[in-house]
Structure 1
Amino acid sequence: MPILTRRSFLANGSLAACAFRTRNLFASTTAAPTIVHTPSGALRGESSAGVRVFRGVPFAEPPVGPLRFLPTQKVSPWKGEREATQFPAAPMQHKQLDVPHSEDCLYLNLWAPEGTGPFPVFVWIHGGGFTDGHAFESMYDGTDFAREGIISISVEYRLGVFGFLDYEPLLGEQYAGSANNALRDLMTALSWIQKNISAFGGDPARVTISGESAGAKLIGTLMGIPTAQSLFHQMISESGGAERIWDHAASAAVAKGFGDIWQKQSGSDLTSLKTAAGAALIQAQQEFMETWPHHFPLRAELDGTLIPRLPVETIAGGSTRGKRLLIGTNREESAIFLGPHPAKDATAIQLGNMSVAKFDAVYQKYKEIYPQLSVQQRRIRAVTAEEYWIPSLRVAEAHLKGGGSAYVYELEFQETSGRLKDNAYHSLDVGMVWNHPHEHVADAAAEAALGKQMHTAWAAFIRGEAPAAPGLPAWPLYDEQSRSTMIFGEKASAESRVEQSPQAAELQLWNETL
């Protein structure tokens, strides 16, 4: 079986979709109209079975024409009633989707309970490697959360070269910091929520930001942005971290690499980037990513203003003091990228945060820590640690050092059928948290039961309570002495990963390297 890298996974829509299952959203033919008057203007949405839905709500001016590659501009208030019954276009990306793509993508979708509230607010940031994905994937249908008294919001942001490329070296000082435009998009969305959510019955003082994969990495970065802290009050990170960021020199090198590809492919000078068709930029982006020697070249940067230093340093310094964090990973995240039986050691395009040489120095010691695992299992575990587990723990421990509190989990549940059987692979947790588990697997009932438990615990956390659910043992707060972790397997259990445990030895190994 050929190795499936994250690069090819994200580029192949059918493969990426295998992690999710399609669900029907509200059908407009059965929903009644509902109108909400917000400070930004009136919105006409739909209401069905006690849940109001508003789709395609603008939170920013379209970043098109003269606003391309520039910082996000807040949306201007509109007059009259704005129709909010259709999802927006997906952000520009290479992945083939059965929906339109557009640079005009800065919209959110909102599911709210009927009633006046005040309701806690759950804001979801989708994943996709910073280059793919969208906010209206059917898995992110917020109906279940809304029925439980929680406003659920999914947010779109600029992807790829539209949201994560520094154009200052290519187009001049006006574009300084443009590699952080996607983060500015998210902050603008959160600012819109602070201003407008009361109109839907939401409580602007109880906003939880959450995301998975790239979305979780953006959560980690937002935690390290001083000017973002008033926009949210607690965080959920699923398979994230805060390592995916360039210094200014690396960001400039990436920009030059893309600029060279653009000039070669288009036959035009760099100023044509301002007016070229969006599809042409995506075509150049794809060639650039296929030839760049490292994975994930498009990422945020330390610009000295929005992001003054490494996010984990800012977090440890107290940026999220007093806030609560729920954070965790899946045990065999990387099986979805390496394959369930990887035949070769990791390569540069399979590592997210370090060189092969540095990774190999750690990996060579895995046999000593996990002698009972097969070579294939150790490969998956080590790459999972490099990309997800260790970065997530670094965020948790920085958050504790900075005066916050954290609940840590690990998903160990393994599906018993399908290509990835016997692996708790990347994205498996998403359907469980949203209470939309896989329906066509051999152990569907067990997955549904665990999913209900996780969904209930997440909802409790969003409401400001300790994460809890029927049948779930008490979830202790994480600390660096016990490293208490909630294990979601066939049966949930709370585990202390003290010094004599293999996980503690693995963590120590990574800490010595990093």
Structure 2
Amino acid sequence: MRTLLLLAAASLLPTALAARAPEASIATGKVAGTHEGAVDVFRGIPYAAPPVGERRWRSPQPAAPWQGVRNASAFGHDCMQTPFPFDEAPLRTTPAEDCLYLNVWKPASAQKGARLPVLVWIYGGAFITGGTSPAIYDGSAFARAGVVFVSFNYRLGRFGFFSHPALTAEAGKPVGNFAMEDQVAALKWVKANIAAFGGDPAKVTIMGESAGGTAVVNLLTMPSARGLFRGAISMSGGGRSLLPTATMEKGEQVGVDFAARQGVTDRGAAGLAAIRALPAATVQGTNLFADRFANPATYVGGLVAEGSVITAPSDMLMDQGKIAPVPVMIGMTSADGGISFAQDKDALFASFGAQGPALRRAYDPDGAAEFRDLSRRLTGDQYMAEPARFVARHVVGAGKQAFVYRFGYVAQGKRGEWQAGAPHATDIPYFFNTVEARYGAATTDQDRRAAWLAHAYLVNFVRSGNPNGKGLPAWPAYDRKDEALLQHTMDASATASFDPFKNKLDLIEAFANSRP
């Protein structure tokens, strides 16, 4: 009988061990995540105190320590927002002002001190939407490839970008870029804590798409971010400040006008207390795009050059040589698009001033182009492709390698709908290798091959600062002589060549350089 009991107990032991949640000890306490196959996942770890009440519109404050083991099995709230309809990355949480949480995916076999490379994801959404909970942002594929993956939330909209004379007085300096301060705080958390998950704080790469890519470009030029990463990846993040970075004077006036709309005209401490007490839904608003372009504007629209966190527009800083000396991978999708208020071809080309006639000859030589497609191609090159080249040139000028891509693969089930090419943000599930989370049962083997290829390049870059590797089409580094561009093609392959779009981008560059 004793033998039988011992055998029964032994048979239960593997089940008990498998059921035990993975734990990690970080600066604020212990966290327990979940086993998901060969991956351990820790969700909803606070990297800063909740930015609510008196902490609204303040720099991120340290998270409070806890006793015992914190349950890290579920995402924390994504940040306050009004989600876009038909979003490529729908949220899986209810947004809230208490949102400064991050998530970690690691190989289940990785122990503390394993010193694995680390990838930190910064989501997009025009700085007004986005979060870490969408299924296509799952970091499991990176962890299975031996990379520790981190994603974090940062404040959005008026919660993330807001200035006011009373805030300046309270802080003793101009403030307004709380979203960017959140990002730096998250990167500092990674530096201090990632070793507990098997990551190497000296091997951190940052990656972002759209507004997240814009954030990456700005982090490259921000003194407060220096030394927090060794490589950067910007997907459809541009690189020129085509939508002007607001001055501090403008930012404060927008804040005053927002307060006045809520009936708060006091510009001192009492007025600040009143707007800090406003319901989160009131601060959020319903249409920040309209608020940005209203007269008077009540949302600043994003980055403010307050002189501390954001000292100047990123392109100006790069022209001054103020860019972090790290390798960069940068690019766009083939049908990315930008912003234009033109209603017809004549107005579109006229918006480019003296370069308009040459651009018409380059983009619409026979006059047969359909306006919507033409506008998307031209503004995509203006907002994404030429600025990516601009950044690549400055990276090379700083003595580091840059790798430029154009992602043109379209899921087979979407080719009837997306005939112009790969739309904005559709490259994300390929680089993440989460295409089935995006396309479900419609995912084909060719879609999976395209994802494997894009993901392999990205993982190699995170490991070494160079995307090339065995079994992959060669991807030459960019230089001014060869102008190398890697194109992800519709057959799920990739081809590198001299940039076939160079002449068009040169015209756009000439226009950009002619602006005051």
TM-score w.r.t. structure 1 length?
Answer: 0.83
Of residues 399, 423, 426, the one that matches 1:425 is 423
Distance 1:179 1:42, change over 3 A: same
Distance 1:32 1:469, change over 3 A: farther
* Residue number in structure 2 paired with 1:55: 43
How far apart, CA to CA, are the structure 1 residues paired with 2:295 and 2:232?
33
* Residue number in structure 1 paired with 2:106: 112
How far apart, CA to CA, are the structure 2 residues paired with 1:442 and 1:432?
15
* Residue number in structure 2 paired with 1:7: none
5 Å-filtered alignment, 1:8-47, equals 32-47=20-35
Of residues 306, 312, 326, the one that matches 1:323 is 326
* Residue number in structure 2 paired with 1:395: 391
How far apart, CA to CA, are the structure 1 residues paired with 2:353 and 2:134?
37
How far apart, CA to CA, are the structure 2 residues paired with 1:358 and 1:174?
41
* Residue number in structure 1 paired with 2:186: 189
Partner letter of residue 487 of structure 1?
Q
Partner letter of residue 452 of structure 2?
K
Q: Deviations over 1:443-485 (max 9, x none)?
A: 8433321121010110011011521356532111111121111
* Residue number in structure 1 paired with 2:177: 180
How far apart, CA to CA, are the structure 2 residues paired with 1:393 and 1:429?
19
How far apart, CA to CA, are the structure 1 residues paired with 2:141 and 2:482?
34
How far apart, CA to CA, are the structure 1 residues paired with 2:82 and 2:172?
24
* Residue number in structure 1 paired with 2:361: 368
Distance 1:168 1:135, change over 3 A: farther
Contact 2:167 2:175 in 1 (8 A): no
Q: Deviations over 1:175-232 (max 9, x none)?
A: 7443211111011111011111111110011000000000000000000012211111
* Residue number in structure 1 paired with 2:454: 454
Greater mean deviation of Cα atoms: 367-376 or 120-129: 367-376
Distance 1:260 1:320, change over 3 A: closer
TM-score w.r.t. structure 2 length?
Answer: 0.83
* Residue number in structure 1 paired with 2:477: 477
Contact 2:405 2:485 in 1 (8 A): yes
How far apart, CA to CA, are the structure 2 residues paired with 1:483 and 1:398?
13
Of residues 124, 134, 150, the one that matches 1:127 is 124
5 Å-filtered alignment, 1:44-443, equals 44-95=32-83, 99-114=93-108, 115-116=110-111, 117-168=114-165, 172-174=169-171, 176-244=173-241, 250-266=247-263, 270-271=271-272, 272-283=274-285, 286=288, 288-289=291-292, 291=294, 297-334=300-337, 344=344, 358-359=351-352, 361-370=354-363, 371=365, 374-376=369-371, 377-415=373-411, 417-437=415-435, 438-439=438-439
Contact 1:179 1:301 in 2 (8 A): yes
RMSD over aligned Cα atoms:
3.2
How far apart, CA to CA, are the structure 2 residues paired with 1:198 and 1:109?
14
- Tell me by how many angstroms 1:357 deviates: 6.5
- Tell me by how many angstroms 1:316 deviates: 4.8
How far apart, CA to CA, are the structure 2 residues paired with 1:367 and 1:248?
29
Partner letter of residue 223 of structure 2?
P
Partner letter of residue 102 of structure 2?
L
Partner letter of residue 280 of structure 2?
G
Greater mean deviation of Cα atoms: 483-492 or 185-194: 483-492
What are the ranges of 5 or more consecutive residues in structure 1 without an aligned counterpart? 1-29, 349-355
Of residues 495, 498, 507, the one that matches 1:496 is 498
Give the fraction of aligned pairs with identical amino acids, expressed as a percent.
Answer: 29
Distance 1:309 1:171, change over 3 A: closer
